[in-house]
């Protein structure tokens, strides 16, 4: 069920351009929209709820960019995209507004709730990739948000790929660290983790076999020009933890 907490966030509105009064006003508007979304969610109107939650999120300031680390600020080496040096970037970066830390925390909490609620709607609409992304955004604001971790893990299970099942495993492990020992959800989380392991291993083997098959087909397409195939090359353990390649007609 969608979370019903008091809110406060707009990904497209930086803190530097919005004063404290405007942020508080936006928080109030976002809270009203969230309540509308909760009513729609309880009535099983998932699409309507999704619109309300997304509109509420658009009212709030976005997450403040993290300042560069001391090491990165001293590195003038351009990246592969030809980035400018750190010194020139610092000269052009606007000074952050003097926003009270309490207000930042309120906005972060609101963004976390709204993104998790968006994730809940997307789960109902079977958009599991979108749900994973929304819950990930929620966890950027609150890494210990239980419901966001649970929804992301469940959504990744639905995606059923090697990488998604691996991420689900990590989320279930995080939940076991965060949940109180007496919580009834502990046993359920442990069971989910236990059932997930053979699925993750099977998905890994399947994707590795598919990748090997594609590489073999590519190799055959090239070697075929010389009257050869990948079957002419045998890989055998060399007794030192590696493999030796032998050519055979």
Q: What is the pLDDT of residue 215?
A: 67
Q: What is the pLDDT of residue 234?
A: 63
Integer Cα distance of 31 and 33 in angstroms:
5
Rg (CA), the chain: 25
What share of the chain in percent tops pLDDT 90? 50
| Closest C-alpha among 124, 12, 2 to residue 52 | 2
Choice between 134 and 22, residue whose per-residue pLDDT is larger:
134
Whether the per-residue pLDDT at 200 is higher than 50: the answer is yes
Distance of alpha carbon 79 from the chain centroid: 24
Choice between 128 and 84, residue whose per-residue pLDDT is larger:
128
Integer Cα distance of 172 and 189 in angstroms:
6
Q: What is the pLDDT of residue 45?
A: 97
Here the tokens at position 75 are: 């590195």
Mean pLDDT across 6-32: 70
Q: What is the pLDDT of residue 202?
A: 80
- Expressed in angstroms, the distance from the first to the final Cα of the chain is 64
Return left, alpha or beta for 11; rule: phi > 0 is left, psi -120 to 50 is alpha, else beta.
alpha
Integer Cα distance of 78 and 137 in angstroms:
29
Per DSSP, the chain holds a count of helices (H) and strands (E) of 9, 2
| Closest C-alpha among 160, 200, 159, 153 to residue 175 | 153
pLDDT in tens, 133-184: 999 999 999 999 999 999 999 999 999 998 899 999 999 999 999 999 999 9
pLDDT in tens, 70-106: 554 444 433 444 333 333 333 343 333 445 588 899 9
pLDDT in tens, 215-231: 666 666 676 666 666 66
Are residues 148 and 116 in contact, defined by beta-carbon separation less than 8 angstroms?
yes
The residue ranges of DSSP E strands in the chain, in sequence order, are 233-237, 243-247
Q: What is the pLDDT of residue 51?
A: 98
Q: Are strands 233-237 and 243-247 parallel, antiparallel or unpaired?
A: antiparallel
pLDDT in tens, 28-60: 999 999 999 999 999 999 999 999 999 999 999
């Amino acid at each position: 069920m969608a979370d019903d907490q008091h809110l406060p966030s707009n990904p497209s509105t930086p803190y530097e351009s919005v004063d404290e009064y405007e942020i508080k006003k936006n928080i109030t508007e976002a809270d009203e929209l969230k309540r509308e979304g909760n009513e729609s969610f309880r009535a099983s109107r998932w699409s309507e709820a999704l619109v309300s939650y997304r509109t509420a999120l658009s009212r709030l300031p976005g997450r403040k960019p993290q300042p560069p680390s001391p090491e990165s600020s001293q590195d003038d080496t351009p990246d592969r995209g030809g980035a400018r040096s750190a010194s020139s970037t610092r000269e052009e970066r606007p000074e952050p507004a003097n926003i009270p830390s309490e207000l930042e925390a309120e906005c972060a909490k609101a963004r976390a709730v709204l993104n998790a609620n968006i994730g809940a709607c997307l789960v109902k609409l079977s958009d599991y990739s979108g749900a994973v992304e929304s819950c990930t955004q929620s966890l950027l604001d609150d890494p210990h948000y239980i419901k966001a971790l649970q929804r992301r893990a469940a959504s990744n299970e639905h995606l059923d790929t090697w990488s998604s099942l691996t991420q689900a495993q990590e989320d279930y492990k995080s939940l076991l660290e965060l949940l109180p020992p007496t919580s009834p959800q502990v046993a359920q989380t442990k069971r989910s983790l236990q059932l997930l392991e053979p699925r993750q291993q099977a998905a890994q083997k399947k994707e590795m076999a598919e990748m090997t098959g594609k590489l073999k087909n590519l190799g055959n397409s090239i070697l075929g020009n010389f009257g050869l195939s990948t079957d002419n090359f045998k890989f055998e353990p060399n007794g030192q933890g590696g493999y030796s390649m032998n050519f055979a007609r």
